[in-house]
Structure 1
Amino acid sequence: MPREAGRLRRSASTWFQPAVRSQPRRRAKGRRGGRDRGAGTACHHKQGPGASSPRAILEACGGLFRDTTIHDMDMARFVLGEEPVEVFAMAANRVDPIFAELGDVDTAMIVMRSASGALCHINNSRRTNYGYDQRVEAFGAEGMVRSNNHRPTEVSRHGAGGTATKDELLYFFIERYRAAYEAEIRDFIDQVTAGKPPNVTFEDGRRALLLSEAALKSYQTNKPVEVNYG
């Protein structure tokens, strides 16, 4: 088994979130409705509270589109069940001056169009003050499927101080994706043990990167960018 396969699988951990992984199955069963009537997918990905990462990390991470948006590009391919062919991105500096100093952005909105005409919207921010925020919504002619944020418990409190008060969202990606990482490792071991190739391949990583590069180019040129996977 090539070493690269193991490394690239970690970049696709969003596929293994239980709620996200169930979306294509529900779509296939007709619970969401056909995409031929104008379906859409929205991915909201905002990193958790606290100060920005150390400067050395920000200088080496490749920028917002390659560091953060790439995971949403990967997940969008999985949820859509087809390849985006056109990308348009707008971005700004709204969080921390350090990103502008490094020639990067910290807030972005991206729209992608697939070959069938389905649309996908991705919303990114480097910071939230309420926890790690990642939600996915898939909308079609016959309904919608939504993956919400995670909390330590689902207990809600009702009283004079507030109605339906809940625990704060999980704080960081390690807590947020714990189940996904475990499922990803389990799947990898199962495939290797059975002598089968990984379910997530080098090509999946390459295509997510191509989409991220297209988003960066779109932001730089302020024009939609067609994606060539060849």
Structure 2
Amino acid sequence: MTVQVNADKAGAGQAEKAGAARTRLALFDLDHTLIPIDSDYEWGEFTIALGWCDATEFKRRNAEFFAHYRAGTLDIHDYVRFATQAIREQGATNSIAAHARFMGEVVLKTITRQARALVEQHRAAGDELVIVTATNEFVTRPIAQAFGVSELIAVELERDAQGNLTGEIRGTPSAREGKVTRMEQWLAARGLSWDDVETTFYTDSMNDLALLEKATHPVATNPDERLRALATERGWRILDLF
């Protein structure tokens, strides 16, 4: 399968007419976009296998939260408290070691040639690569590194004075409209605004509608049923990697 990077000639022409040499960004959602799994959900299942939590209760709550995410009704603060409980109880050393196993036994096996090719084509084109995910930084940082992407916008976890996780979120969570807020913060830190960049954004989910509407080139990637219908209606590119 050959993955072609989106190129909107009309939009590029308008930028040239305006005399704007805009920075090109390739933004990627992670779960079900670059990888065909929900990394947060699978990490939870992995901790069950490790015996870090009560299997029956954890599975019930994990599935409940996942259903809320799919429906767009997730309370991300409640979810992060739940999702980080095991690593808070186990401590950093055990948790980091377990995540390394999780990468080898679960995540790396799911990364497809097509997904890597998409990232690499944007890299070769000189685009700056950013993964923008609603999953927390502990789970996703090693996955971003596996793709060779250093810029990660994820849910940041609050730490106490001793550096231990508290279960709370630091700053704005990068979920739904929060992805736009976090991207604007990322741009501002570099002296940029939306007017200074040409963005291609890949995502599978209607939860990311706000950022899709901000992107120069929105790409519905492995889209869920609602997003596929909307992308078709609006003439957005649809890409199926899996």
Quick check: TM above 0.5?
no
Greater fraction of residues in helix: 2
Bigger relative CO (Cα 8 Å, ≥ 6 apart)? 1
Greater fraction of residues in strand: 1
